[in-house]
Amino acid sequence: MDDLFSDSAHKLFTQTFNDAVRHAAESGRPDANAWRACEESGFLDALVPEPSGGAGLRLCDVLPVALSAGWHAIPAPIVPTMLARAWLATIDRRAADGSIAIAPFGLERDQDALRIPCVAWGRVADWVLARSEHGWHLLDARLAQRTPWGGHGSLDAGLLWQGTLPGALPACEVEPDTLAAASHAAMMAGAMERVLGQTLEYANQRAQFGRPIGKFQAVQQQLSVMAEHVAAARMAAVLAFQSETALPDPVLAMAGKARAAMAAPLVADIAHAVHGAIGITEEYALQRFTRRLREWRRADGSESYWAERIGAHALSSGATALAYLRTRLYAVAA
């Protein structure tokens, strides 16, 4: 299952998301054909139960797709959509076709206007699963006025609707903010692997002082550190997807997001240090991944936010550090 899935995801993403599609998305024009190809692939409903038209897979089964989405730096919320559809299915709801962004923070309302200042994927998403004090709401982002929120090429946007807030969806044990955490953990892990591969290739090819720069000890030491963090982030992302249901264990999702977020800026920085000036150009592919890494790190809470939640949980649990590690920060799906 693992390799087959991985290969089909890789093929789909390679064929569907080229530079033109990427540029369009970053200009606020998501490519409908590209999204349709994703819908037709069946990936988006992979976690939806079979009676509801999905493949009924477990979260651990779709990890290869999630990693691949990060490896390709797909400019669309494929992974949040997969998990959000699974979540909606557990409360017997379904969004119409289209991509779903998850917005746990910032929802405000006036008399007859709704506003969410910064939604990750807000420039391109069709739907937003947003949190209010009453619970979670599914909002149609195609009806919203979108304002770019992040920096150059960011897919974040503020969304503004005229109208009132629809009723909250039924409560569920798992909260969608942990879905966002797990999604971004896997995407960051995939992107970091891509960046490591690019950087190693560059270091082995670029020659100065008569040899590839990868032969210099100073460069090698940095690359070793980079590899360590890529490995740890990947493990944390893999753990975040260790679930035999369609939804993540919240603590593992939080830990995955936090560990990947800790690694992301370090990995991006070393990549840029090794690449030199060419890595800062728009033309060279590195920036495609490092820009996303920094956005995904900040999306819906960076490492400190999730670490604080886990620290509070650990303190109140009364457990020793080892017991907490073993029982809450580890799982292997059968």
Partner 1 sequence: MLLTTLAPIAIPEEDEALRAEVRAFLEEAMTGRAPDVNARSWMGFDADFSRKLAQRGWLGITLPREYGGAGRSQFARFVLAEELLGAGAPVSAHWIADRQSAPLILRYGTQAQKSRYLPRICAGEAFFCIGMSEPGAGSDLAGIRSRAERTATGWRLNGSKIWTTNAHRSHYMIALVRTSGSAEDRHQGLSQFIIDLSLPGVTIRPISDIAGDAHFSEVFFDDVELADDALIGNEGAGWEQVNTELAFERSGPERLYSSMVLVDCWMQWCREARIDDAATRTALGRILIELGALRAMSLAVAGLLARGENPAVQAALVKDLGTELEQRIPGLIADLIGGRPQAVAPAPLVRTLAYLEQIAPTFSLRGGTREILRGIIARGLGLR
Question: Which spans of this chain sit near partner 1 (rule: CB under 8 A)?
Answer: 193, 196-197, 200, 203-204, 214-215, 217, 219-221, 223-225, 227-236, 238-239, 242, 255, 258-259, 262, 303-304, 306-312, 314-315, 318, 320-322, 324-326, 329-332, 334
Which CB atom, from 145 or from 304, has the smaller least distance to partner 1? 304
Least separation in angstroms between CB 4 and partner 1: 17
Least separation in angstroms between CB 58 and partner 1: 15
Which of 121, 4, 11 lies closest to 71 in space, CA to CA? 11
Which of 265, 258, 255 lies closest to 226 in space, CA to CA? 265
Which CB atom, from 58 or from 85, has the smaller least distance to partner 1? 58
The residue written with tokens 């649990």 in the block is 317
Least separation in angstroms between CB 1 and partner 1: 14
Least separation in angstroms between CB 268 and partner 1: 16
Least separation in angstroms between CB 304 and partner 1: 5
Which CB atom, from 128 or from 266, has the smaller least distance to partner 1? 266
Q: Tokens at residue 153, please?
A: 């090429």
Strand ranges in 122-254 using DSSP code E only, listed in sequence order = 127-132, 135-140, 145-148, 157-162, 207-208, 211-212
Which CB atom, from 203 or from 293, has the smaller least distance to partner 1? 203
Burial 59-91 (b: 16+ CB within 10 A, else e): bbbbbbbbbbbbbbbbbbbbbbbbbbbbbbbbe
CA distance 308 to 314: 10
Least separation in angstroms between CB 164 and partner 1: 35
Which CB atom, from 165 or from 235, has the smaller least distance to partner 1? 235
Which CB atom, from 59 or from 107, has the smaller least distance to partner 1? 59
Strand ranges in the chain using DSSP code E only, listed in sequence order = 100-103, 108-109, 113-119, 127-132, 135-140, 145-148, 157-162, 207-208, 211-212
CA distance 117 to 105: 9
Least separation in angstroms between CB 19 and partner 1: 25
Which CB atom, from 103 or from 233, has the smaller least distance to partner 1? 233
> Residue 117, SS3?
strand
